[in-house]
Amino acid sequence: MQQRLFPKVCVGVIIHNNENKIFLAQSYKWQDSWCVPGGHLECGETLEQCAKREIKEETNLEIEQLELVCI
């Protein structure tokens, strides 16, 4: 097995509606567990760009208002 020499950065995006209901999806990546959508940061991409891209790829939603919750 090849050893990585650097960490992989990922984002998870919490999407909520006006009723504060949170969007969850089943993910094949996590054995069909329910989770927030997200994915890996690509080289040269900002966290905001990554979040928007991953949400579009996984849900076909376009998000505008982003707030960093934690690292």
Along the 71 residues of the chain, how does pLDDT read in single tens digits? 677 778 889 999 999 989 999 999 998 878 989 999 999 999 999 999 999 999 999 999 999 889 988 88
What pLDDT does 65 receive?
Answer: 87
Segment (H or E) for 61:
none
User: What is the spatial distance between Cα 17 and Cα 39, in angstroms, rounded to a whole number?
Assistant: 21
Distance CA(8)–CA(49), nearest Å, equals 16
